[in-house]
Copies of this chain bind each other. A is one copy, B any other.
């Protein structure tokens, strides 16, 4: 995966309005107005957030008639999850090595 997509995905999730949209969409698809209604801002502002989410691949949408229906694309959510999970795993592995080194009487590593 391209790194700048991860940039965009993290940046997208950094905004509470956009996390609220995601929070709504994991429950199932919704229209633009449905997503915008609970947000404390104008409809065009909400659409910008939606565009950010779509640009980074977290959300897909299709227009039918005058109504645009949005849904989560779980792939990118998985990428983000994996990046964080992997780093936490690395950190724990490093902690294990440290523990082993402290337990034994100084094997190998100085």
Contacts and interface: CB of A to CB of B under 8 A. Distances in A.
A23 B91 CA distance: 9
A15 B26 contact: no
Nearest to A6: B19
Q: Could you say how many copies of this chain the assembly holds?
A: 2
A27 B94 contact: yes
A53 interface: no
A3 interface: yes
Interface in A5-20: 6-8, 10-11, 13-16, 19
A73 to B, nearest CB: 10
A63 interface: no
Given A7-B15, A10-B13, A94-B26, A81 B84 contact: yes
